[in-house]
Amino acid sequence: MTVIESAATINQPVEKVYTFLADLNNHQQLMPENIYNWESTTDEASFTIQNMAKLAIKISSRIENKELVAIPTEKAPFEVELKWTVEDNGNGTTTATHIITADLNMMMKMLASGPLKKLADHQTERLTEVLK
């Protein structure tokens, strides 16, 4: 399994960060420009990654103010889990961590791990900007 992680400190209480992340409609604001055909509800989202694949995900588990996990609803090119964890830093700030776990063979790892890391970093960076 390939695990890609990106974390950021957000100047908002954990409840606000979790509430934002718990609604997949909000995730469009975190996506880079190479994502299009975005469609979403609170629990599901589908989108196309330019030059790669179409992906549909749904929330598979929620732990309020702690963790959110999304998995593909349709056959993906490889097994993948998208997880957000939020942790209260005790001073009105929250650490949000985006963890992408993917079952990549050696060839896919070479092709996909760079773009997946870039995606995780972009999303955590955008989260800090959107939730200023």
CA 4 to chain centre: 11
**Nearest alpha carbon to residue 8 among 68, 60, 102, 86:** 86
What's the rounded Cα separation, in Å, for the pair 10 and 68?
A: 17
Summarize pLDDT for 77-92 with one digit per residue, the tens. 778 899 999 999 999 9
Per the listing, tokens 């954990």 go with: 14
Q: How many CA atoms lie within 13 A of 82 on its CB side?
A: 23
pLDDT tens digits along 11-47 = 999 999 999 999 999 999 999 998 899 999 999 999 9
Query: What distance in Å separates the CA atoms of residue 87 and residue 91, rounded to the nearest whole number?
Result: 11
pTM of the model: 0.91
How many residues does this entry show for the chain?
132
The mean pLDDT value of the chain amounts to: 93
What are the chain's domains? 2-130 (3.30.530.20)
